[in-house]
Amino acid sequence: MKRTFVYILGFFLASASLFSQSKFDQFLKPSDTLNISLRNTVVVTEAALATTTLIGLNQLWYADYPRSNFKTLNDSGEWLQMDKMGHVFSSYQLGRLGANTLHWAGVSKKDQLLYGSTLGFGFLTAVEIMDGFSEEWGFSWSDMAANATGTGLHVGQELLWEEQRIVLKYSFHRTQYAKQRPNKLGSGLAEEFLKDYNGQTYWLSANINSFLKTESIPIWLNLAFGYGAEGMLTGDAYDPLFLNQNRTRQYYLSLDIDLTRIKTNSRFLKTVFDVFNVIKVPFPTLELNGNGRVKWHYIYF
């Protein structure tokens, strides 16, 4: 998953730039009715970005490894499932992007869900098929299940509540493990941000006010539940080259801010908030690890 994460983020930000580069709030305002011109622009732009990304992924990554007949593999136990969380996150966020851009073009709610929310699942399925024809990897059914989970989280909330009360978010902090295997876990902040599973945390950020319906709590305040892991130098816990790994799961409880619920009349700011709402806002955090130990973080990234 880490080899595609950079493309996922680039795809998301590049598509979002369709809006954020404009200086006119009127341009950013969602259409009340179907705007065929805007819809076509969205479809063509996203199709071009997806195609370019897949071509780039093929040339920059898969071309360095031999091809093979299509095969599958079972990697469900690797990296304490942190790579699967990356699939869930990417599928959810790309689906959110797809639905939001179609909403901007005035596309019906039904078509937003059918053709927008499934953007992440479709794109990641294409990547998974490419994996299947690579000698180095293989088609992973557990990856596909994670992709479906991310898409389902977005679609399910829209069908149930017609809003995203629970948002999937990401945070990162640097760890000591990348220095021990920089070729695998990244060399430097930019690479480690994408490759070092030990420093990644995935969050379910739930908007409190959406559930409690009270004016005593700010509308933008969220309660966040996080999952992370550390002590991993390789995906396999029984790798003979790394027998002394102290692999530990971590569970977190924290507060967060849903940037999309901050009230502003500026369409540009709303767009900026929407783009950066993929990142968990640092807050004091309570951690419970797999060994039963509790730890308090005054501020956690």
Check residues 6 and 40 and name the one with the higher pLDDT: 40
Which residues make beta-bridge pairs with 250? 228, 289
Torsion of CA 103, 155, 171, 25, to 10 degrees: 10
pLDDT at site 149: 98
Strands 72-73 and 139-140, by their bridges, are parallel
Assign residue 263 a region (left: φ > 0; alpha: ψ between -120 and 50; beta: otherwise).
beta
pLDDT at site 64: 77
Instruction: Please give the full DSSP string across 110-155, using - where no structure is assigned.
Output: HHIIIIITTHHHHHHHHHHHHHHTBSS--EEHHHHHHHHHHHHHHH
> Average pLDDT in the 119-128 region?
94
Residue 205, pLDDT above cutoff 60? yes
pLDDT at site 151: 97
pTM of the predicted model, to two decimals?
A: 0.90
Query: For residues 29 and 247, what is the distance between their CA atoms, to the nearest angstrom?
Result: 48
Give percent of the chain with pLDDT exceeding 70.
91
- Quickly state the pLDDT bin for 19 (edges 50, 70, 90): very low
Longest alpha-carbon distance in the chain: 60
